[in-house]
Amino acid sequence: MLVRYAQLSQETESSIFLFGARQTGKSTILRQQFPDAVFIDLLDSELRMRFQRRPSLLYDMLRDKSSETIVVIDEIPEVPELLNEVHRLISEKGLIFVLCGSSARKLKRKGYNTLGGRAYPCYFYPLVSVEIPDFNLDRALLHGMLPTHYLSKNPRRLLSAYVDVYLREEIREEALVRNLSSFQRFLEVAALTDGEMVNYANIASDCGVSAQTIKGYFGILEDTLIGYMIPAYTKVMKRRLVQSPRFYFFDVGLAGHLLHRTSLERGTPAYGHAFEHFIIQELVAYIGYHHIDEQLSFWRTHTGIEVDAVIGDARIAIEIKSAEEIQPRHLKGLKSFGDDYPESRRIMVSLDRINRHEGDVELIYVHDFLKMLWSGKIV
C-alpha cells in the first residue's frame, strides 16, 4: 500500500474543503487518516437522493454528536444544499467537517454557502515521487501519477476511460458547455500547448470557436481541477517580459494521452516536454501541501530567454532540461535571470548525473533534486 505524503489529520483544527481531481485517491486517504470519523459518501445514490430531498436530515443525524467530532462528507458538490446544514452544525455544535470534492465549479456556479471562512481550502494531488518506493521516472512521464495509472500495465485504457468519464459526468451532465464536440476538440488543442504560453486567439482559430469561449473552456478546466495556469513573473522589469500565462494539465500522463503518446524516448522533444511538466507537477504539489505563501511562476523575455520556474519574489529560479550532459548553452536563461536578480538561488535540474556548480548555478541530477525537494532543501 502506498503511503501518501499529505497528513490531512493535522489539518483539522478547523473544518476544511479538500479539493482534488478525480482518482487522485481522496476517498482512500480520508478513510485511512480518519478511521473514527463519521463518513458520509454522497456517491451512494440512495443516500444522495435522501439528502437531496431533505437536506435537514444531516442536522438530525449529527445534532447529538459531541463537540469536535470529525465528519467526512465525500463529494459534497453532489448535494451542495447540505452546506447550510454544515454551517449550522459548525456554529451550533462545534463539529469539524472534512468536505471533499473534485470540482469547485458546482459550488461557485450557483452561489452555494461556502461557510463564510469557517472552512479553509486544501488541495490533494496525484502521486508524488516521494510516495513511490523504487520510483521510475520514465514510467511516471508516460503513465502519469494517478495511483491506478502509474501502477497499471495498460494505462492507455485507463486514461481513455478517465477522459470519457470526465466529458460525460463533469461536462455533459452538468451542462457546462453547449457543444461537447467543440470542447473535446479543445482538450486536444490544449494538450498541444501544454506547458506553453496561452494564446486564446490561436486556440480559438484551431477549435472554430471564439476566443471568449476558449477562455471559458480554460476556466472549466481550472474549476474542475483538470489543469492550472502558471503566471508569468513580471516584477522589477529590467527587460521587456512576456505576461501571458502557461497552462498545464494536472497530470503529465493525461496530457500525454491527449497527445496520443504511446512511448517516450530520451533525447526527443516529447520527452523534454514531459520531463518539464513532471517537475512543475512536483513543485505545484510541494507548494500546495506545505501551504507555502509564495507564487510559482515562470520568466520569459520577449527575445525568448526563459526560466521554467520562479518561486516567490525571484527567490528561487529553476530551469528544467532533460539533457544528460549540461552544456554552457543550457544555462543561458539562468545566467540572464541572475543578471537581473543577483540575490536569487538558481538551479538546473536535469538528467546529468554529476552534481556541481557552474558559477552561481547549482546543477542537480533529477533524482537528487526530487529527494532534496521533498526533504525541504529546495523551496
Residue 109 pLDDT more than 70? no
User: What are 244-280's pLDDT values in tens digits?
Assistant: 999 999 999 999 999 999 999 999 999 999 999 999 9
What band does 242 get if pLDDT is binned at 50, 70 and 90? confident
CA separation for the pair 224, 343 (Å, rounded): 38
At 112, the amino acid letter reads Y
Comparing CA positions, the residue from 212, 195, 214 lying closest to residue 203 is 214
How open is the CA angle 259-247-11, to the nearest 5 degrees?
110
Q: Which residues pair with 17 in a beta bridge?
A: 99, 121
CA separation for the pair 135, 138 (Å, rounded): 9
Residue 237 pLDDT more than 70? no
Q: Transcribe 296-326 into DSSP letters.
A: EEEEEBTTS-EEEEEETTTTEEEEE---SS-
What band does 366 get if pLDDT is binned at 50, 70 and 90? very high
Residue 223 pLDDT more than 60? yes
Comparing CA positions, the residue from 316, 318, 297, 321 lying closest to residue 241 is 297
Decide which of 114 and 328 is more confident: 328
Q: Map out the domains of the chain with their CATH numbers.
A: 8-123 (3.40.50.300), 129-374 (no CATH)
Look-up of cell digits 548555478 = 361
